[in-house]
Structure 1
């Protein structure tokens, strides 16, 4: 891996986090006005079209991308992801962008904690210590036992758990399927699943909000394209720490646009969670290289 590849990968990852932060802001706006299931359904229609277009351009086309020896696992992954996205968007509305992302930042720690019993990966004492410290950070964000504790925060925590489970299932699927195959099944299964549920909650949308919906679809496709390009030029472990920029961009967006406030406990807890996550990512890379 060359230094120029690493720099390009970092730039692409930061660009992707910026685009995803914009996507989250648009999702929060639309979900506050319309049913969450309908918003996610329309977003998935475009995402599925994007996934199929990407697959069609690869060698072997759509048939090669769809070929898998573990269809039930791939279907479960797709359905799990749409559940996670619906929970996350709901948390944006109930709790706000900043606290939701602060809690969501714990997902790498959840993956690390579960990778041992679920995937049989070795998790050493230093990584277990980092996981413990990270969850102390989550408790600081949630402040359980205080009058100000928001039960809505549990929706954000559920979203982080679902995303971690999706990450573990993706790792498991990768033992026999390519990334292109998993990406194809994620988009197509998700679109079918969301359509079955979301059509029952269809609401008329204003012309300006159709514009925002179009922006939501474009940011989703652009963000995934940037991630694909990023992982083509550099290893995921190299750029993973820069994924935390999404919390920074979300904060810069949420304060002026949605009037959110960065509470001291959220800032402190997020810093602890991110620090623990960075240490966990570093240890995983050390173990892989050693």
Structure 2
């Protein structure tokens, strides 16, 4: 989980640093290109990974990555307009939106904890965004749009994991998103990079893969009710980074709103876990 926290923070800072040289779409192309090179190398070296790449869900992969690329574009743009902590806090609404989408799309049932998670998420958003007040920042709506897109991506990923491996999903993500990102950028954008840009360029590529890998393994090996609170540490970590590197103010309301959002997610996680281990009523057994 520590690797995921550091990777997400490194990615945000690297995007800001590269934005002086590259467009947002060029930065996303750089990230996908780096990831594709690494994954192609792994695929060439290991036959077991090559065998997992075949998919019968290619149209769904394309649709998922159109949504994901658009969401990343909006999210990366918001990093240039808002304090880093605000972006990260509002991004935490993605699981709440995913709970809403899972009901009609995946046929999952409506429960009190799911509705409660969404309500707390919306309350957290209102605390952070503060609509109608002088401190309201319209760019915050961009992050909410990105979070909604990420929620759709989560739902589509859940559908894909029924037939495809995690490695295949990430491989196709990079392969599909690279040409899409190049459409909206100068194909020779790498020639614009100066020596000082090499460190953030490498950081974007490495953190892009590392964040997916570390977070996936954190949820695989750790209980979600433990991983989610640890993931919440992203917000104070990036707040300190924003204060240290960019002089951004530490806003208590951002932390308060984020706490409401995470409380809703944890409530639902614990309720789902309790339902999963509910003991069988012996009176109903034959």
TM-score (norm 1): 0.87
Superimposed CA distance per residue, residues 19-51 of structure 1 (whole angstroms, 9 cap, x where no aligned partner): 221221111222254311111111110011223
Per residue, is there more helix in 1 or in 2? 1
Instruction: Look at both structures and tell me which one has the larger radius of gyration over its CA atoms.
Output: 2
Identify if the C-alpha distance between structure 1 residues 150 and 119 changes in structure 2 by more than 3 Å, giving closer, same or farther.
Answer: same
Report the equivalent of 2:250.
262
Query: Contact 1:38 / 1:198 at 8 angstroms: preserved in 2?
Result: yes
Name 1:23's counterpart in structure 2. Answer: 11
Q: Map of 1:88-237 to 2, 5 A cutoff? A: 88-199=75-186, 202=189, 204-231=192-219, 233-234=221-222
Between the aligned partners of 1:156 and 1:146, the Cα distance in structure 2 is 18
| Partners of 1:52 and 1:289 in 2: CA distance | 41
Structure 1, residues 112-137: CA drift from partner, whole Å, max 9, x if none? 12211111112311221221122111
Equivalent residue, structure 2, for 1:44: 32
Instruction: Quote how far apart the aligned CAs of 1:179 are.
Output: 1.9
Q: How far does residue 234 in structure 1 lie from its aligned partner after superposition?
A: 4.3
How far did residue 184 of structure 1 move?
1.6
Q: Which residue, out of 50, 53, 56, partners 1:69?
A: 56
* CA distance in structure 2 between the partners assigned to 1:184 and 1:28 by the alignment: 26
2:192 partner SS: coil
| CA apart distance, 1:262 | 2.2
| Alignment check: 8 A CA contact 1:84 1:163 kept | yes
Distance change in 2, residues 1:221/1:90 (3 Å): same
Count of matched residue pairs: 277
Gaps of 5+ in 1: 1-12
CA RMSD of the aligned region, Å?
2.2
Q: Out of 144-153 and 202-211, give the one that drifted further.
A: 202-211
1: CA distance between counterparts of 2:120 and 2:49?
46
- Contact 1:38–1:201 at 8 Å: present in 2 too? no
> 73-82 or 198-207: which moved more?
198-207
Partners of 1:69 and 1:274 in 2: CA distance: 36
Structure 2 unmatched runs, 5+: 279-286
Q: Is 2:94–2:150's contact at 8 Å kept on the other side of the alignment?
A: yes
Post-superposition shift, 1:239? 2.6
